[in-house]
Homo-oligomer: A and B are copies of this chain.
């Protein structure tokens, strides 16, 4: 191992055997964490070429069980989001794509820090569970065309161990490590093709579109080398996505969107990502056709129906879909008001995300319990003109004492100015 660390430290390319040795030793615990973390830091500085990244992805993918979806007909297309604030696209997209006739086999995570997680959101439906065997997962997809499972400890154990180390050793920010982590995970879940929603902006891991493009190129290249199609949609994450931040609040917005309402940017992103998924699955021949199909599934209620079917299949109480007011809501609320008149020019997504964590909607650390009914309902978005005292947002929490700290984050998050801001589209670029 020492020789492998030294080789990477000195900027040399590793062989497939060497990379496999590291991942094998990581899993068997024969290589201690302190050697792995030094190795990761050497990768941070020296990078990995496309071949090394492909081998690493392959080793991560094969480090544990893999889900074989070949018994389900058609191309299995997965979507991955690099993480943002108020990102409820999976809740809308997954049922729509399934309703379109393309199987959706989704592995989702929980939220940590300023970004939420799909599983937490879905647990707003009492009884909803992501616990299931591999066989149940496949059976459900076969039956309903959709299933959402949690991150199985048996899948990509190498990724879990590597990520835990990267997280605490300042070695997260490396394109090869990011690529192998995302792709290894998705491919272990049986995806034939992947659409990546790469967030860029103040609430995202990356804030420069140039950096996002480079990472996107790396992912597309590794996809090609592994014989998987990858499409990257680079989307804006300067302000929260849509009008809600917080678990049950976001579920309500997802239901609204599936009913044809909701925020225009949120729908636009869902249609963009969904059309790419349908196209990759060769279910449609053009993006335009895909968008139209998805829109029609909103219009005729098929998407909402599929969502209901998903919730019911996984044990959730579907009465809340008809009566969203039954979804959890925190005991206390407070209006957050504009302190001056003008145009909203900034709603810093990460700061708003932090405010929502204060309110109980997110986890400070892995042990934190979250309050499903907590969060922030945004009354206005960037570009809106407001007068002093207008309610910008309504905060919800079970802890009245949390409002002051949350408001402090919001004071920092909001900028109001005399001149209207330049608006940017939600989808900044699509790379195929």
When A and B form their complex, which 7 residue pairs have the shortest distance between CB atoms, in order from nearest?
A38-B169, A41-B41, A6-B170, A33-B34, A34-B37, A5-B170, A37-B38
Q: In the complex, which residues of chain B have a beta carbon less than 8 angstroms from the beta carbon of A40?
A: 38
A: residues with CB less than 8 A from B are 1-2, 5-6, 9, 32-42, 44-45, 165, 168-171
Q: In the complex, which residues of chain B have a beta carbon less than 8 angstroms from the beta carbon of A9?
A: 41, 44, 170-171
Contact at B35–A5, with CB atoms within 8 Å? no
Contact at B170–A38, with CB atoms within 8 Å? yes
Contact at B2–A168, with CB atoms within 8 Å? yes
CA distance A5 to B44 in the complex (A): 12
Q: In the complex, which residues of chain B have a beta carbon less than 8 angstroms from the beta carbon of A2?
A: 168-170
Closest chain B residue, CB of each to CB of A167: B2
Closest chain B residue, CB of each to CB of A9: B170
Q: In the complex, which residues of chain B have a beta carbon less than 8 angstroms from the beta carbon of A41?
A: 5, 9, 37-38, 41-42, 45
Q: Which of B33, B36, B39, B45 contacts A45 (CB 8 A)?
A: B45
Q: In the complex, which residues of chain B have a beta carbon less than 8 angstroms from the beta carbon of A170?
A: 2, 5-6, 9, 38, 42
Q: In the complex, which residues of chain B have a beta carbon less than 8 angstroms from the beta carbon of A39?
A: 169
CA distance A45 to B38 in the complex (A): 11
**A54 CB, min distance to chain B CBs, angstroms:** 24
Q: Which of B1, B5, B36 contacts A34 (CB 8 A)?
A: B36
Closest chain B residue, CB of each to CB of A31: B168
Closest chain B residue, CB of each to CB of A7: B170
**A413 CB, min distance to chain B CBs, angstroms:** 22
Q: In the complex, which residues of chain B have a beta carbon less than 8 angstroms from the beta carbon of A37?
A: 34-35, 37-38, 41
Q: In the complex, which residues of chain B have a beta carbon less than 8 angstroms from the beta carbon of A168?
A: 1-2, 32, 34-35
Closest chain B residue, CB of each to CB of A3: B170
Q: In the complex, which residues of chain B have a beta carbon less than 8 angstroms from the beta carbon of A5?
A: 41, 169-170
CA distance A6 to B9 in the complex (A): 17
CA distance A33 to B36 in the complex (A): 11
Q: In the complex, which residues of chain B have a beta carbon less than 8 angstroms from the beta carbon of A6?
A: 170
CA distance A38 to B40 in the complex (A): 8
Closest chain B residue, CB of each to CB of A41: B41
CA distance A48 to B326 in the complex (A): 59
CA distance A275 to B40 in the complex (A): 47
Apart from A9-B41, A38-B170, 12 more pairs, CB < 8 Å: A5-B170, A9-B44, A32-B33, A34-B36, A34-B168, A35-B168, A37-B38, A37-B41, A38-B40, A38-B169, A41-B41, A41-B42
Q: In the complex, which residues of chain B have a beta carbon less than 8 angstroms from the beta carbon of A165?
A: 34
Closest chain B residue, CB of each to CB of A10: B170
Closest chain B residue, CB of each to CB of A33: B34
Closest chain B residue, CB of each to CB of A45: B45
CA distance A165 to B37 in the complex (A): 11
